Every structure is written in C-alpha cells, then in structure tokens.
Amino acid sequence: MTTFKELRGTAIQAVSSDPSNPEIGQIWYNSSSGTLKGYVFANVNSWSAGGNYPFSVTESGGTGTQTAALTFGGNNGTVFQSATASYNGTSWTALPAGLNTARSQVGSAGTQTSALCIAGANGPSNTRTDSESWNGSSWTNTPSLNTGRRGIGGTGASNTSALAFGGTISTGPTSASESYNGTSWTNTSSLNTPRRQLASAQNGTQTAALAMSGATGPTETKTTAVESWNGSAWTSVTSCSTARYGGMGFGIQTAAVICGGDSGSPPATSVTTQTELYNGTSWTTSSTGLSTGRYNGSGTGLSSAGLLTGGSTNPGAAVNSTEEWTGSVFQTKTITVS
C-alpha cells in the first residue's frame, strides 16, 4: 500500500499545536484537539464585517489591499469630501492630509502609499479633468486628463502607472480611455460600450484591466457587458449575469469580483447584495452576498481577499460600514474521517 509519506514526501506528524507555516497539502494530527488536519485550497467565498470607516461616505476612491488600503474623497450624501483614511486590516485611521480638491465619483489606481485620484465631480453635474497623486503622506496635483468626466473607472499599479476609462461627460456616458505614465495622460483605444458608474478590477495594471457593468446610452440603461484591456485594445468578454451600475469591483483581469450596485431604474430602486466571481473565462454567482446591499462604494483588494467601504443603500443615504471578502484561499481544515 502506498503511504502518505511516499505520496507527499512527508509523514503525518503528531503535534500539540497547528504548524504556523504549513506546506500546501500537509497533513498532521493535533494531539491537543484530537483532530486530523490539513492545509488545503478552500472556496470560502464569504463576507464578514470589517472596521467602520470614520464617517459615512459614498462615491469615494479606493486603492490597496484588504490589510493595507486607502480610501479618499466621495460625499456624505450632501457634501463633497476631501478626507483620506488608511486601513490596516482591522481599523481605519483618518489621515491629516486630504485631497486638494474635494470630489466624488472618482477613478482610482495604485497602492496605500502610491495612489492616484482621477477626475470626478464636485458639483451636481460637472466633470473634472484634474487628478491627484498620493505619496504616502500628501496629495499633489498632477496633469489633467484629456477628457473630463465623473463616474469613471480606474486601475493601475502606482501613482505613475494608471489607466482611466468610461465615465460621464456632458452628453452622457463615454467610451474614452486614457493611460498615465506619471507625466501626462495619453488617449488610448476606447471601450466598445460607453458607460458610467462602472466597476473595475481595482488591482489590475495599466496593461491588464477589466471594465465591468455600468450604465450606458442616453437613457443610461444598465448593462452586463464586461471588457478586457491588453494594453492596446478593449475586447468584449463573457458578460456578468446582473446588469447594474454603481457596482463595486476588485481583483485583477483574470480573477475579479463585482458586488452590489443598483440593478433597478434610476433613481436606485433595486440595490443588490449579489456577488459575482470571474476566473478569466466565466462568471459564477456566489451563494453569499453582501451583508448590506449598496452601490457606489469603494472596492479594492484581490479576489481572494477584498475590501468594500461605504456606498449608498438608497439615494442620498451614505453608510460607513466596511465588509471584507474571503474568496478561494489556502487554509487549515479539519479532516473528518468516517
């Protein structure tokens, strides 16, 4: 009979406590609990409560990871915000330096210490071209986009490498797309479907992005359309299942999540808790949705560990709650022997 040691190269050891850094596929017997355990890949796919944001906010920007995030701007339902706060995986800290221009409906890119706040609005229907760069301690005005807009999508690795796409201009949703190199914005190939209030794979890069859902056309009809960017062109890929605008996205081009959003007719009449997962080919609807249905919140992180902050539960009602997503991850599991 083939033994586990012959299969894996290790024996099943009896230990008094779980190993702190197990190998993938490792199995051990915990003598303290009397259980057989293993370190395996598990589809957790669930939301849990995180620390509350310092104040209620919607239409803010967000960058970073679940344990090192940055959120900035937005509005509280009536007043545009410039505030910036950081998250350490447990709690938020309001930072002394805010945006130079209070605004909402911004695009965002980068990390907790190297971020970009892109365009947005600070009036009922205006659009901005200016962006701001964050260096970990302060915001600096940077060159303006070629096309001013709000409700814009954004992604990128840092404050010097970003992509901005979609949004609303004076005549309605736009397909315009631009890249940033730390010095200037350059027009790129446009989206196939003009849209605003779209979700993006927030941790994507300037050459590998994903645009998800949003509102399109003169009547701002919600769409399920999803597009993938390869650095030179946008390509339509498999659509998500629910048409929505104001959905929150995070992840990368080939492993992304879209959650929440408004799937009803304007103004928001059907705020959803639904969460969908993308593997680079197809979409799967998670059996677990958000604890609080919302739209226009700030999403960031990876499909294995995401973060959702703020948003609106209905028109004009901003919230301060944070939810943490755990997707498919390696974790210690108890093995049941029957």
In which band, very low, low, confident or very high, does the pLDDT at 268 lie, cut at 50, 70 and 90?
Answer: low
pLDDT digits (tens, 9 = 90+) for 143-172: 999 999 999 999 999 999 999 999 999 889
Cis peptide before 267 (omega within 30 of 0): yes
Single-letter amino acid code for the residue at 203: N
Task: List 326's β-bridge partners, or say none.
Answer: 46, 305
Give the pLDDT mean for 305-331.
89
Task: Report residue 255 as tokens.
Answer: 């492993």
| 316 has a pLDDT exceeding 90 | no
Average pLDDT over residues 105-133: 96
* pTM attached to this predicted model: 0.87
Residue 87 confidence (pLDDT): 98
Stretch 47-58: mean pLDDT? 97
Q: Which domains does the chain have, with CATH numbers?
A: 4-43+329-335 (no CATH), 51-320 (2.120.10.80)
Give me the pLDDT at residue 89, please.
97
Q: What is the mean pLDDT of residues 302-331?
A: 90
DSSP state of 242: S
pLDDT above 60 for 6: no
pLDDT at 37: 80
The pLDDT value given to residue 1:
55
- Say which residue the tokens 């949705």 belong to: 289
Contacts of 33 (CB under 8 A, 6+ apart): none
14 pLDDT exceeds 70? Answer: yes
